[in-house]
Structure 1
């Protein structure tokens, strides 16, 4: 009886065993299908991916290539065993070799794209951040998805910008194109800037007029001028309006980023062009030039230009004077470039100041007079090497040094009678001559080719012949050089020769 009661009690408390069929029925009841987003735990890591327990009858496999995608802006690293992850089911296998395929980046992309669509529904303006510079534009972070801004849409039309300036910078943009299937976003910053600038331009044109003085920053420097950013617009300061100084280079006057004061000298609303001037905000140096420069003042200047009639020399910024070709050298020159070159620094003397016509006459040769102290270099009976520069009927003009010329009278060319200097000398010929007289007051030097010890054998007869010839020429009223300048030795200067030719 007791045994029966014990047997009945044990049967009453025996636990119900769980079969394999019941377990499989429980997993089959879990709703797992392609495209579903589930959360699971990393249970194993492999070289090509991870095994994830998502509560299904088998672990799902998350390939390493499905962890993230280049279109996503990621800040998280790869998972470790035990980490919880959200994944999307990409395939559900059947049969004995059934395997659950998973992907993380696909569900991340779908969620971020949905977030993007919601923001676009609220406003057409999106906030993005520059990530990296690429060929042709800039890659930005737009709601966790990489978007592309073409370089032509980074700045307003007609202006360029370095994409590197926008890296790590947040700024507003508008959508140009979006394609979910191709996972492509094309954005524009230019449209935002143009709308903002359009409003600023209207305010600018309403409040700014020609003659107003404004302040701005130098945005770029070119060979023809400087662009100044005025906020709503950029204006051009032409190189001629940079400074009162002529032929000045823009890069020598301003640097990019400089804060400058400018005067508005032109407004063209149709083309949105503003002409500016920096020099007109400064005092014209010619207004006070008479206070600084008077006649006979000496200074150093820079040769700025060479012309056929002389050389322009800048004696202070914005003030130039002219050295006429006749004031460049004591010797004859055909062009100023024979004496000076552009950019050369020279000493000059002020000859005349005309403030009404903004002209200053300068002298160069006056400070380099070769006749100064000529008596210290040349003396009577001194033998010198000279060069024949011109021949006349009455003698030969010779050059002792640059700017210093003398005359060898025809009577001093030889012991014998000479009818024409060409019979003895030729232009360009170099000879040794003896100085007869030095007269610095009249800028005159007389020379001779005859040795000092020799006396002309036919001198008396020659003088008689000269007197008869002068009387004969006087009777006929001749005005030839032989009549004007007697054959006998006389004091003939270069000035006498020029007067005779006139």
Structure 2
């Protein structure tokens, strides 16, 4: 018997042939290959760690190698960073090489991703709604945790349409979101919070308008401040407090009354369910200052206020927040003015006198010129027979009105303009002309001053012409008319006596 054909004795005395031995090795290899194959998920123990990764014993004839880049993936939300020796891990076979240089490459994140994705899809409701948790703000939106996988919510889908929200406010918050796009191959999940909020908000708005009435007082939060008013959040709706409803004062600036985030009490003054609009008032939740005006303001009282507005008919003066009075244009100046802006300006602080108070109609009449009367002590400033420079301001058929100073006017009658006969004042003087005139009368109570220009003129010499003298000499002396027209020293008795003798 040759060496090659000699039987081999086993430890138990049985004889194994070479052919049988080769069959057993082949069988074991086939068994191991059937147990470990690419794509299979197995559980193993970390036995060694190095810079490149970890060796994991998965029951194969060689340890599997878990590279560091196969431990996790950017799409996964990880609680543990890296494993330690002795830790049990679940991995997926990604590469398998048989033979004397057997090699096994495994991946952890692929197994984790598949399991988490399956769990995510199992958690979806019929409306594709998930509970998610905000992770971090990114450009264009918010990253959220969806069953251990990172999802993305665009900033336009974080809040209801028309409302902005800072994504940072939702970090670490848990809330519901609807899946609007998912792609397992691309490992992509896109969600929307807006869709759910709009449905909830619609129902809340309907309930709000059913229960809310004009005149109710509610508490809200100031959400934004604009040039025309303040928006206040009442829960499901936002209402507008117009500038005129912020305070009882006039021309108030919103930023001087409230700040963003303030809690304020508001009164509902208008509701429009169809357009979901609510008009609010802050000032109407506070006492009306006009309710106590009667006891605080009396006629003749002198007050200080601020000019808030100028109109053609007068100037409005604020005496206190919410209380304004009107200075009629006729009570602004003793002179004739065309518009209040000739004397006053908006924002100016002035002293005024209370002329009348009408609480029922919420009106206070004020006077400005009454405290600036140029006629006061007029006789101390101007004397009768005094000569003063004056300016002609108006011409009429009966004379010329002249100005001595602001608010002081006098009249030069047509008969006092010149010693010569004057038909029309404009034939001698013109508006704007400055002349000298003498005061001939002052009546302070009537606010009248009469002046004369003619008394300042030199009288013409009384020189008769020769023809006139001859005519007078030849006229009969018994003509009564001559005694009426001529200059003589005779009496009425002389005239009567001479008439009787002639008969």
TM-score by length of 1: 0.71
Structure 2 CA distance for partners of 1:211 and 1:101, relative to 1, 3 Å: same
Equivalenced residues, count:
439
Q: What is aligned with 1:54?
A: 57
| 2:159 is aligned with 1:155 | yes
Q: CA RMSD in A?
A: 4.2
Structure 2 unaligned segments of length 5 or more: list them: 1-10, 13-23, 464-503
CA offset digits 1:436-480 (Å, max 9, x no partner): 776544434566779x9x87243889xxxxxxxxxxxxxxxxxxx
Paired residues of 2:437 and 2:452 also in contact (CA < 8 A): yes
Deviation at 1:160, TM superposition (A): 3.1
Q: Distance in 2 between matches of 1:408 and 1:433?
A: 8
Mean CA deviation greater in 154-163 or 373-382: 373-382
Q: Which of 208, 211, 230 is the matching residue for 1:226?
A: 230
Deviation at 1:90, TM superposition (A): 2.0
Q: Distance in 2 between matches of 1:155 and 1:416?
A: 93
Mean CA deviation greater in 174-183 or 53-62: 53-62
Q: Distance in 2 between matches of 1:378 and 1:98?
A: 129
Structure 2 CA distance for partners of 1:337 and 1:110, relative to 1, 3 Å: same
Mean CA deviation greater in 323-332 or 194-203: 194-203
| 2:191 is aligned with 1:187 | yes
| 2:326 is aligned with 1:327 | no
Q: Which of 32, 36, 39 is the matching residue for 1:32?
A: 36
Deviation at 1:307, TM superposition (A): 1.8
Within a 5 Å distance, the mapping from 1:448-467 to structure 2 comes to 456-458=458-460
Q: Distance in 1 between matches of 2:224 and 2:345?
A: 32
Mean CA deviation greater in 60-69 or 313-322: 60-69
State the secondary structure of the residue aligned to 2:124. Answer: helix
Deviation at 1:404, TM superposition (A): 2.7
Q: What is aligned with 1:109?
A: 113
Within a 5 Å distance, the mapping from 1:90-169 to structure 2 comes to 90-93=94-97, 99-120=103-124, 125-169=129-173
Q: Distance in 1 between matches of 2:174 and 2:405?
A: 76
Q: Distance in 2 between matches of 1:243 and 1:139?
A: 44
State the secondary structure of the residue aligned to 1:371. Answer: coil
Q: Which of 368, 371, 376 is the matching residue for 2:375?
A: 371
Deviation at 1:29, TM superposition (A): 2.5
State the secondary structure of the residue aligned to 1:427. Answer: coil
Structure 2 CA distance for partners of 1:144 and 1:444, relative to 1, 3 Å: same
Q: What is aligned with 1:43?
A: 48
Paired residues of 2:294 and 2:359 also in contact (CA < 8 A): yes
Structure 2 CA distance for partners of 1:121 and 1:311, relative to 1, 3 Å: closer
Structure 1 unaligned segments of length 5 or more: list them: 1-10, 13-20, 462-502
TM-score by length of 2: 0.71
Q: What is aligned with 1:343?
A: 347
Paired residues of 1:42 and 1:50 also in contact (CA < 8 A): no
Deviation at 1:166, TM superposition (A): 1.8
Q: Distance in 2 between matches of 1:270 and 1:392?
A: 66
In our comparison, the structure showing a higher alpha carbon Rg is 2
State the secondary structure of the residue aligned to 1:182. Answer: coil
Within a 5 Å distance, the mapping from 1:28-427 to structure 2 comes to 29=32, 31-37=35-41, 38-41=43-46, 43-46=48-51, 49-55=52-58, 56-58=60-62, 60-78=64-82, 85-93=89-97, 99-120=103-124, 125-201=129-205, 203-375=207-379, 377=381, 386-392=390-396, 396-407=400-411, 426-427=430-431
Paired residues of 1:128 and 1:140 also in contact (CA < 8 A): yes
Mean CA deviation greater in 171-180 or 117-126: 117-126
Deviation at 1:106, TM superposition (A): 1.9
Structure 2 CA distance for partners of 1:347 and 1:36, relative to 1, 3 Å: farther
Q: Distance in 2 between matches of 1:197 and 1:315?
A: 45
Paired residues of 2:439 and 2:450 also in contact (CA < 8 A): yes
Deviation at 1:191, TM superposition (A): 3.8
Q: Distance in 1 between matches of 2:30 and 2:451?
A: 133
CA offset digits 1:76-107 (Å, max 9, x no partner): 43567777654332222456776433333222
State the secondary structure of the residue aligned to 1:29. Answer: helix
Paired residues of 1:264 and 1:276 also in contact (CA < 8 A): yes
Structure 2 CA distance for partners of 1:458 and 1:60, relative to 1, 3 Å: farther
CA offset digits 1:188-220 (Å, max 9, x no partner): 323443444455445444543333333333333
Structure 2 CA distance for partners of 1:392 and 1:82, relative to 1, 3 Å: same
Structure 2 CA distance for partners of 1:356 and 1:43, relative to 1, 3 Å: same
Q: Distance in 1 between matches of 2:279 and 2:235?
A: 15
Q: Distance in 1 between matches of 2:441 and 2:109?
A: 109
Q: Distance in 2 between matches of 1:218 and 1:410?
A: 71
Q: Distance in 2 between matches of 1:306 and 1:424?
A: 40
Q: Distance in 2 between matches of 1:96 and 1:460?
A: 159
Deviation at 1:141, TM superposition (A): 2.0
